[in-house]
Amino acid sequence: MLRKKGTKLFLHLKKWLEKAVLDYNMIEEGDRVLVGVSGGADSLALLDLLNTPMVYVPPFSIIAVNIDPGFDPTYSDYNKLDKYLRKNNLNHYMEKTDIGPLSHSDYNKKNPCFLCSRLRRKRIFEIAAEKECNKIAFAHHKDDIIETLLINLFFGREISTMMPKQTIFQGRLHIVRPFAYIGEDLIKKYAKEQRLPSARNKCPTSNTSRRIYIKKLLKKMERDNKDVRNNIYKALRHIKSDYLPQDMRDMK
């Protein structure tokens, strides 16, 4: 376990992280949790918080897993992350891949994110099996949930988003998102406060992705309605199925 960092922000994040974990029964005694670590502020903040003593969550073990997408031939962020994990004596596994360049190859120029996330996720599942983990924790937060809802609605023609807890492979594996109640701004603030290393995303699509489009759109909307993000988030708990078409077959 890392040293306890009793700042006000630390206590606030721990409270909401533990609440999400308990509300969704994300972690049970003896779980082996694979924590997906990209090297960015969000995932390192999650790893950091999961590695500090819990008040109500039962004991569990952790392995941090990094899949380097291969955008940087010098592997400077990979090496920095490796150094940080070693220095803090954190159980970890890292892998260099060519998933990034492959997803941007000529035959897949249209939507590199789809292939990139699919390949990375596939490899994460394989590593979870190799390391005998029954849970995979991702650092997706409240803002990711809001943005994904809009991405799926605007581009995927469906109403869906990331779930705080998702069961896959007939219950053999669970994906959990302990930051489901916490906004991105507080997580970034915490990473800065604790001086966690943060890798810059070197992907050529990172500034033009659908997520960035939605982020910019929400920012614009927030100028007129500062509650817009919270309202979308809360709407997920107020689904009025009676006011949704039950049978769309006749609709054009």
Residues 83-122 binding ligand SF4 (CB under 6 A) are 103, 112-113, 116-117
**Is 43 or 103 the residue whose CB approaches ligand SF4 more closely?**
103
User: Tell me, what amino acid is at 228?
Assistant: V
**Is 51 or 205 the residue whose CB approaches ligand SF4 more closely?**
205
Number of residues lying near ligand SF4 (CB under 6 A) = 10
User: Tell me, what amino acid is at 214?
Assistant: I
x-or-dash string of contact with ligand SF4, 156-195, rule CB under 6 A = ----------------------------------------
206: contact with ligand SF4 by CB under 6 A: yes
Phi/psi of residue 88, nearest 5 degrees: -95, 10
Do the Cβ atoms of 69 and 41 come closer than 8 Å?
no
Among 40, 146, 205, 233, binds ligand SF4 (CB under 6 A): 205
DSSP string, 99-161: HHHHHTSGGG-S-HHHHHHHHHHHHHHHHHHHTT-SEEE----HHHHHHHHHHHHHHSSS---
Among 77, 203, 214, 229, binds ligand SF4 (CB under 6 A): 203
Give the integer Cα–Cα distance in Å for 246 and 235: 19
Residues that bind ligand SF4 (CB under 6 A): 69, 103, 112-113, 116-117, 203, 205-206, 209
